[in-house]
A and B are shown apart, each in its own frame.
Chain A
Amino acid sequence: MFNQLYVGSILAEYTNLEEVSWDRLWTATQQTLYMTVISVILVFILGLILGLLLYETRHHQTIWSVALYKIVSVFVNIFRSIPFIILIVLLIPFTKAIVQSMTGPSAALPALILSAAPFYARLVETGLREVDKGVIEAAEAMGASKLELIFKVYIPESLPSIIAGITVTAISLVGYTAMAGVIGAGGLGNLAYLEGFQRNRASVTLVATAVILIIVFVIQFIGDRWVSYIDKR
């Protein structure tokens, strides 16, 4: 029965802030931010390159572009489809080889990047496809080279999609870091799992959740503001 006492005890469990170690919360927050920022930067670069490759090779003109498109597209589809929690386990040997460790924030990076970059690459490709064909033709008529097209037309003209895409990707990366935390990457997910779940301290889980929400809101806010600032359409 939900009598008042019962509700009170649930609230007491969530609000028992004495159980929260603020030092450890701060360390965990820093670890989450570290994983998010580094992976977002690398995903942005990698995803942009992959997205451009997908877009450029889509028209299947030569045998090389057909082959490249197939390879990139298969790579993107596979890594986008593997559930993150499985991917991170699957990549343990690979991670050990390049990071020399399988725990800690840095060890989460390969899995974070490999799973988010293909997702972001698809978003970039979609954004590029929305660039007005007429504008591309106009630039070609002026004698623009492929590189000029990429840096002066494709990227600037699809920048709102590119930024909106990285915002969405960054937010899912925050979620991934929490999952990575459960298997030893550190961060707020790790804190919520180890301190909150295993030691049965609901207040710690609640505080960790609040911090993650704040991070997500800040990312969303910055992304939205940025997009509306650059979008002159």
Chain B
Amino acid sequence: MITLEKVTKTFLNNKLAFEAVKETSLTIEKGEIYGIVGYSGAGKSTLLRLLNGLERPSSGKIVIDNSELTPLSKKELRKERQSIGMIFQHFNLLWSRTVLENVCFPLEIAGIKKADRIERARELIDLVGLSDKAEAYPAQLSGGEKQRVGIARALANNPKVLLCDEATSALDPQTTDEVLDLLAKINEELNVTIVLITHEMEVVRKICDRVAVMNKGEIVEEGSVLHVFREPKQEITKRFIKQDRETDNKETRQALTELKQAYPEGQIVQIFFQGNNVGSPIITRVSRECDCDINIIQGSIQSTHNTPMGTLIVQVLGDQDKQDKALALFKTYPVEVEVIQKDV
């Protein structure tokens, strides 16, 4: 669907060349939700803008749905952009237009007749759940509502691709979830390929199928979200994943200290589950077979786009033999086991 071949982008700033995107190749499949994660200045914004020609590449080839962007004239590029929707961190709605008129805007540019424009715009406003706000002005809407308008507007011309530029970064956690759910729904129902850039790993985990980690203009790691989350290779990727678990971790650490005081014996073990294993009764089996008590300290499930991922922190009690046996037994199951605290 989208292919980048050895694409580079160099900016000239006061005669100093700055390579915002270093030679990058990338393939994004049709119907996929693809995340690009990186800190600010990593080049992800430029990379996203290369996909709709807001930035032209310095070298390399960009193909979207079998049409190559690079050789297009300005006029052809404008035409092409009508089939690529884009939403923004700060929504970028026209304050001078109502919600309905904002959604009509791209349809005007595409030269759709007025009656048809309004009909289509109303459909989209229904889709994003803002039917009662059609006549409101952006200034009267909340952040989440504004982003819904942005999404409706981006979908107006039935795009093949939807580009999301930090679309949830200006929203609170709950609104972020709502907007992400909406994006997932659009991806599923309309089969729109979504490319999103973000600095929040949480966003990637929640809706992306695949992810690329960008650092200093390069994609340093790429793969399915589950894979990257389970086996991050690069230091920067690990940092992003850690940041996603940060809040959980703080509470856990506190719980661990308290538990250590209450039950000074035993071993504390962290178990990662994935997909189908989330449902299997591993804990009770181990407990029964090894004849040891297992105390559950903390458990959490993080949802990813398709499969859940679970983490369980348990305390294995009993004498040393039993503990070792239990640990060995855990490792026979398709879960990841990590002893995070030995006897203290």
Contact = CB atoms under 8 A, between A and B. Distances in A.
A233 B110 CA distance: 27
A57 B75 CA distance: 20
A232 B137 contact: yes
Interface in A151-176: 152-153, 156-157, 159
A144 B109 contact: yes
Interface in A121-138: 132, 134-135, 137-138
A157 B81 contact: no
Interface string B78-98: 111110101010101111110
Interface centre among B52, B81, B95 (most CB of A within 10 A): B95
B97 A143 contact: no
A157 B92 CA distance: 12
Give chain A's interface secondary structure class: helix
Give chain B's interface secondary structure class: mixed
Interface of A: 132, 134-135, 137-145, 148, 152-153, 156-157, 159, 230, 232-233
B139 interface: yes
A170 to B, nearest CB: 23
B108 A152 contact: yes
16 contacts: A134-B92, A137-B92, A138-B93, A139-B105, A140-B54, A141-B81, A141-B84, A141-B86, A142-B109, A143-B80, A143-B81, A143-B82, A156-B96, A157-B95, A232-B138, A233-B95
Nearest to A155: B96
B94 A134 contact: no
Contacts of B86: 138, 141-142
Nearest to A140: B54
A132 B95 CA distance: 10
Contact of A148 (B81, B84, B109, B153): B109
Given A141-B86, A143-B82, A232-B137, A132 B108 contact: no
Interface centre among A134, A159, A230, A232 (most CB of B within 10 A): A232
B35 interface: no
Nearest to B79: A143
B54 A135 contact: no
Given A137-B92, A230-B96, 5 more contacts: A134-B90, A137-B54, A143-B109, A144-B109, A232-B137
Nearest to B86: A141
Contacts of B92: 132, 134-135, 137-138
Contacts of A232: 95-96, 137-139
A134 B167 CA distance: 13
B171 to A, nearest CB: 16
The 3 closest A-B pairs by CB, nearest first: A138-B92, A143-B81, A143-B78
Nearest to A138: B92
Interface string B119-160: 000000000000000000111000000000000010001000
A135 B94 contact: yes
Given A152-B105, A152-B108, A232-B139, A141 B52 contact: yes
Contact of A142 (B95, B97, B106, B139): B106
A159 B54 contact: no
A207 to B, nearest CB: 42
Given A138-B88, A233-B139, A144 B94 contact: no
Given A135-B92, A135-B93, A137-B92, A142 B82 contact: yes
Nearest to B136: A232
Interface centre among A135, A140, A143 (most CB of B within 10 A): A143
A143 B81 CA distance: 5
Contacts of A141: 52, 54, 81, 84, 86, 163
B81 A142 contact: yes
Contacts of B80: 143
A148 B105 CA distance: 10
Contacts of A159: 96
A136 to B, nearest CB: 9
Given A137-B54, A142-B106, A152-B108, A157 B79 contact: no
A153 B139 contact: no
B199 to A, nearest CB: 18
A45 B187 CA distance: 47
Contacts of B77: 143
A141 B45 CA distance: 14
Interface in B55-103: 75, 77-82, 84, 86, 88, 90, 92-97
Nearest to A133: B92
B88 A142 contact: no
Contacts of B157: 142
Interface in B161-182: 163
A134 B88 contact: yes
Interface in B204-258: none
A153 B94 contact: yes
A144 B75 CA distance: 10
Contacts of B95: 157, 232-233
